[in-house]
Amino acid sequence: MKIVRFEKPGPPEVLEYADAPVPEPKPGEVLVRAHSIGVGIPDTVIRRGTYGWMPPLPATPGTEMSGTVEKAGAGVTSPRVGQRVYVTARERPQRGGCYAEFIATPADGVFVLPDGVDMEAAAALANYQVAYHLLRDGARARKGQSILIYGAAGGMGNALVDLAKAMGLTAIGVVGSADRAAFAKSLGADHAIDRKSEDVAARVKAITGGAGVDLIADLAGGPTVAQNLAMLADMGMLVIYGGLGGNASVDLMAELRKQMGKCPAVCRFSIHYLDHRPEERRAGMRDLIDMLAKRTIRPRIGARLPLAEAAKAHAMLEAGTVLGKLLLKP
């Protein structure tokens, strides 16, 4: 079979498209043939060698895939051979591993996909899992609230806008170009702000009638903290879930004191809070698969590349040029 791996961390070019033996499922495992492989930020962080949950080297990135069960190990009664399934590295002994034509993985961490569920859309569920728990558990979002979503045209933005609208929130997307603003609106965002040509704070003030937004979902963190706190409504919450912008360049407590009159809150969200709550994590994924089957959520596939072009996929993702979800096809 073909697999993507790297010997040493580095830029996208370290990813090697190589031959490997098809793994044999151990007792309690199933062998899954990949249909579509999702590409996400955790994959790039693994490749750079800075992920807090790094697999041992040489490593294969990949958080998720959809596929079909080819073989079952001893003792496995479900899923059955031939069933369509979703595989997530969050249910595997270590992260990564999905950039491959086949994967052997624990059967109790594989999710059967109902008939009619699109296999490509299913390969976008890792983003939706983060968005689901961010909104439900981190932000404790409620119907009727407003939410400002940074990076609203990317894979995570797609998931946040989609789920926010499903929960009855007013979604305001922040993007980096006019075409990305149009794409965010096509996802269902009520408003889209082009941060390159518009004043984000001024637009938020106009959209909310000066009240501010109830929630902010920010992938960057660091440099945007002060402005984000100022844009919150009374009792609003800033949720930082990626921290890609690094540490805040301001004194957080000082900024909170400045906004004390409206009692803002800050949440540093991570999907890893569920690492020791597997049943809660799996229940959330089952809920998302049910939503996908009912078309309550609609992941958008922005681009499809051959598995051999994984390095190109990482370069595209890091350049911020992808609209929606990026997939690899074996």
Q: Are 292 and 122 in contact (CB under 8 A)?
A: yes
Domain 131-272: assigned CATH number = 3.40.50.720
Separation of alpha carbons 174 and 167, rounded Å: 19
In this predicted structure, what is the pLDDT of residue 242?
73
Distance of CA 120 to the CA centre of its chain: 15
Rg from Cα positions in the chain: 20
Residue range(s) occupied by CATH 3.40.50.720 in the chain: 131-272
Phi, psi of 318 (to 5 degrees): -70, -25
Going from the C-alpha of 227 to that of each of 36, 198, 201, 252, the distances in angstroms are 39, 14, 8, 12
Q: Are 15 and 311 in contact (CB under 8 A)?
A: yes
Instruction: Print the SS3 string covering 217-286.
Output: EECCCHHHHHHHHHHEEEEEEEEECCCCCCCCCCCHHHHHHHCHHHCCEEEECCHHHHCCCHHHHHHHHH
Separation of alpha carbons 219 and 138, rounded Å: 14
Helix (H, G, I), strand (E, B) or coil at 209: coil
From first to last of the 330 residues of the chain, give the pLDDT tens digit. 999 999 999 999 999 999 999 999 999 999 999 999 999 999 999 999 998 889 999 999 999 999 999 999 999 999 999 999 999 999 998 899 999 999 999 999 999 999 989 999 999 999 999 999 999 999 999 999 999 999 999 999 999 999 999 999 999 999 999 999 999 999 999 999 999 999 999 999 999 999 999 999 998 766 777 788 889 999 898 998 875 545 555 555 555 565 565 656 777 888 999 999 999 999 999 999 999 999 999 999 999 999 999 999 999 999 988 999 999 999
Q: Beta-carbon neighbour count of residue 179 at 10 Å?
A: 12
What's the residue count for the chain?
330
Fold classification of 2-124+299-329 (topology level): Quinone Oxidoreductase; Chain A, domain 1 (3.90.180)
Helix (H, G, I), strand (E, B) or coil at 66: strand
In this predicted structure, what is the pLDDT of residue 248?
56
In this predicted structure, what is the pLDDT of residue 265?
74
Among residues 329, 302, 330, the alpha carbon closest in space to that of 316 is found at 302
Global model pTM greater than 0.85: yes
Residue range(s) occupied by CATH 3.90.180.10 in the chain: 2-124+299-329
Q: Are 113 and 85 in contact (CB under 8 A)?
A: yes
